Structure 1
Amino acid sequence: MMTIFDPTDRAQTPLVADEKTMLLGMLAFQRDTLRWKCSGLIAEQLAFEHVPSALSLGGLLKHLAVVEFSWVQMTFAGGDDSPAWETQRQEGWDGWSLRTTAGETPQVLFDSLTETQRLTERIVGGAPSLEALSHEMPYGEPCSLRWVLLHLVQEHGRHLGHADLIREAIDGTVGI
């Protein structure tokens, strides 16, 4: 089963808004760009690895959902929810989320990103300000919600370059 996402449906970042709305808008645009890059592909295509790397579009969908959930829900909010992918985590194996998508349907991969997005928007919407500090201390001290959101925008942006190359190798689709 394929999931279709039209690039004209990508979230648009407002040009004038408060900082929280703009950061969430920029992050939503990045997520939607990844959805578009992965759109219309079957599971085997989402699992395609561009040699010499083991990176795949399905791996990027899962990785970005895991990274966002980890930073927002666990590090910032201090939650301990256990999403479905938690059982696949292997301690000491960096990059596990990029390489554990074999056999997962496109719908499951897209749904994980959507579920994480909704959770992020709920947590950020309920935060008193962007200066709010994280519950956990990832680098020996708490970080602000602003830093977490900027980090996620950076993480998505970095991996969208990978998505561009992999999608073009699969079927020649290019675009911004």
Structure 2
Amino acid sequence: MAHMSDEVPGDERATLLVFVDSQRRALRATVEGMTEEQAASRPTVSELSLSGLLKHVAEVELNWLRMAQQRPNPSRRAQEDWAGGFRLTEEESVPDVLAFWDGVVAETEAFIRSVPSLDDTFPLPPAPWFPQDAKVSMRWMLLHLVREFARHAGHADIIRESLDGTKAMG
């Protein structure tokens, strides 16, 4: 993983994309060298696994991208299947999830580079956790992704350390 001193891009848009990507890379690093079984295991009292966290963040990023693009997301998980977003099915594997996420990442980055301004807004859907008729900016979305990914990177660090003692920060 590169250090921030190696990645100073100079403008706000590129800086935010670097911070989002840094957290993505932290999450991805937690499955390096893991078997499918290890990545799916839950060594703590939590229901979280490394592979489940990867699936969740990939789906979350796609959901936010589609909201920002104001396009439908046919693969959006129904609220009653929320827990299914944290577990791989028998047909899914860590490489599958990482490949899916790679596609989402490429689309997110291309979209963010194409928007005229990070001040551009999009409406949030009706939900009990969003204010009614709220809009957020592209900047807000990127910062939200940093927060979401950082939270789950911390979870993933604990899970990985519980599995084999590997520590993200040495």
Verify: 1:110 aligned to 2:103, yes or no: no
TM-score by length of structure 1 reads: 0.83
Runs ≥4 in structure 1, deviation > 2 angstroms?
10-16, 89-96, 135-140
TM-score by length of structure 2 reads: 0.86
Aligned residue in 1 for 2:71: 79
Runs of 5+ consecutive residues of structure 1 not aligned to the other structure: 1-6
Please provide the CA RMSD for this pair: 2.2
Alignment equivalent of 1:133, drawn from 117, 121, 125:
121
In structure 2, how many angstroms separate the alpha carbons of the residues matched to 1:14 and 1:131?
23
Q: 1:11 to 1:114 in 2, by over 3 A?
A: farther
Aligned residue in 1 for 2:161: 168
Q: State the aligned residue count.
A: 163
Cα deviation 1:9-47 (Å, max 9, x = unaligned): x89773251101000011111111111111111111110
In structure 1, how many angstroms separate the alpha carbons of the residues matched to 2:5 and 2:30?
17
Cα deviation 1:62-96 (Å, max 9, x = unaligned): 111111111122x11112254xxx28x34334343
In structure 2, how many angstroms separate the alpha carbons of the residues matched to 1:13 and 1:81?
36
Is the CA contact (8 Å cut-off) linking 1:168 and 1:174 kept in structure 2?
Answer: yes
Say which SS state the counterpart of residue 134 (structure 1) adopts. Answer: strand
Is the CA contact (8 Å cut-off) linking 1:45 and 1:170 kept in structure 2?
Answer: yes
Runs of 5+ consecutive residues of structure 2 not aligned to the other structure: none
Aligned residue in 2 for 1:3: none
Alignment equivalent of 1:124, drawn from 101, 112, 119:
112
Cα deviation 1:104-130 (Å, max 9, x = unaligned): 212101112211111100110110010
Aligned residue in 1 for 2:51: 58
